[in-house]
Amino acid sequence: MSTQSASSRSRWLILGCFLAVYGIWGSTYLAIRISIQTLPPFLMAGARFFVAGILMYAWLRGTGTPAPTRAQWRNAGVQGFLLLTAGNSVIVWAEQWVPSSLAALIVCTQPVWFALVDWARPGGRPPRLRQWSGIGVGLAGVLWLIAVASGVQAGSERHLPLLLAVLGACLAWSAGSVLGRQWDKPASPLTGAAMQMICGGAASLVIAALRREDLAFHWHSVSANSWLAFVYLVIFGSWIAYSAYVHLLQSCAPAVVSTYAYVNPIIAVLLGATLAGERVTASMGAAGAVTLCGVFLLTLPERGPKQT
């Protein structure tokens, strides 16, 4: 294969990965909400990633993919915990009470946390003036969103900690995404994704066991809709979208990858309103728009030097 053909194939692969992350992840918020109607949150999230990871890893090893090193497993364990346990599973838990559309609007602040974590890491560069503007606007928008949501949700004194937990999950996800780029990992992004899913899923299952979630439900009481949502999350959310995300982290700058925050909330809000009857007030929409403006400022490409 010529260099030009390989470059073209790589561009199409990256484009496909972005489409998967943009489109599929916007729908997973509602799928999560449906799945945990009759499945416990950490048990569902842990089983989702552990099953997806084990099956993918077995297939990769069966097709001749080299075995990872012990150091790569250790790195996958830390990154999987940050991304999938402290990040995704906490959001799953919070969605028992927080509407999926609201969770997605808060998660759209990811680029803000990407920028701050990238600055805080060893050797990181401080944000420039325009980036600080984006961070400020984005944080103002999400604080407004949390204040409005806490006021309109029943039992607002309980919702505020839940919304802050979602925000903390965003920070954990960003830390795993940015810091993990520097760590030793397998050459194959699919292998890395499978390892992270195994480790993150196992950690979530441990939390489920500690919370005794297995005693809180009966398998025969799980609805067909919850099972269908679970299968959707395994196949589309984990195998396709999460693997695409891991590939993008190895191929593109974090600020570029984080632009999925523009599209996911729009899809999540539309699906939540049309299929689940979730209420999004004008104030929540305005706060979300301010947050997205901050994200836009933050992710604008830097101007290069002028040609002379």
* 131 within a domain of the structure (yes/no): yes
- Looking at per-residue pLDDT, the higher value among 122 and 4 belongs to 122
Whether residue 122 is predicted with pLDDT greater than 80 in this model: the reply is: yes
Q: How confident is the model at residue 8 (pLDDT cuts 50, 70, 90)?
A: low
Q: How confident is the model at residue 229 (pLDDT cuts 50, 70, 90)?
A: very high
* 308 within a domain of the structure (yes/no): no
* 266 within a domain of the structure (yes/no): yes
* 192 within a domain of the structure (yes/no): yes
In which element (H, E) is residue 149 found?
helix 129-152
* 49 within a domain of the structure (yes/no): yes
Task: Collapse the DSSP code of 37 into the 3-class scheme (helix H, G, I; strand E, B; otherwise coil) and give the result.
Answer: coil
* 7 within a domain of the structure (yes/no): no
For the residues 9-18, what does the mean pLDDT come to?
85
- pTM confidence score: 0.84
Distance CA 274, CA 229 (A): 17
- Compute the C-alpha angle 24/29/10, nearest 5°: 25
Domain that holds residue 31: 13-176+184-299
* 105 within a domain of the structure (yes/no): yes
